[in-house]
Amino acid sequence: MREKLAALEPLRLEIADDSAKHAGHAGAKSGGGHYRLHIVSPRFAGCSTMQRHRLIYEALGPMMRGEIHALSIRALTPEEDQ
């Protein structure tokens, strides 16, 4: 995930794996993990929340259909993170 998200030039990137909290969940059975993401990037300036999420989903590409079952996103500009 870190490699793929590097394309968004993050100033801050925190990824938490919450998969263990979802053991037995249907998504966990298929092998997809549950993650929390906190990312700060100047690339988000002028973007709506939906646009920011789309940029993240595009960067993660096929991971969103296999390795990642659920992703909680907090995407901020550097100014918003202060």
Q: 21-39, pLDDT tens digit by residue?
A: 766 655 455 667 889 999 9
Is residue 5 within 8 A of residue 60, CB to CB? The reply is: yes
pLDDT by residue (tens digit) across 2-24?
A: 999 999 999 999 999 988 776 66
Mean pLDDT of the chain: 90
Nearest to 73 by CA among 25, 23, 34: 34
Task: Delimit the domains of the chain by residue range.
Answer: 2-71
Its pTM stands at: 0.86
Sheet holding 12-17, edge to edge: 12-17, 33-40, 68-76
Asked if pLDDT for residue 46 goes beyond 60, the answer is yes
Distance, CA of 29 to CA of 78 (rounded, Å)? 37
The hierarchical CATH code for the domain 2-71 is: 3.30.300.90
pLDDT of residue 48: 98
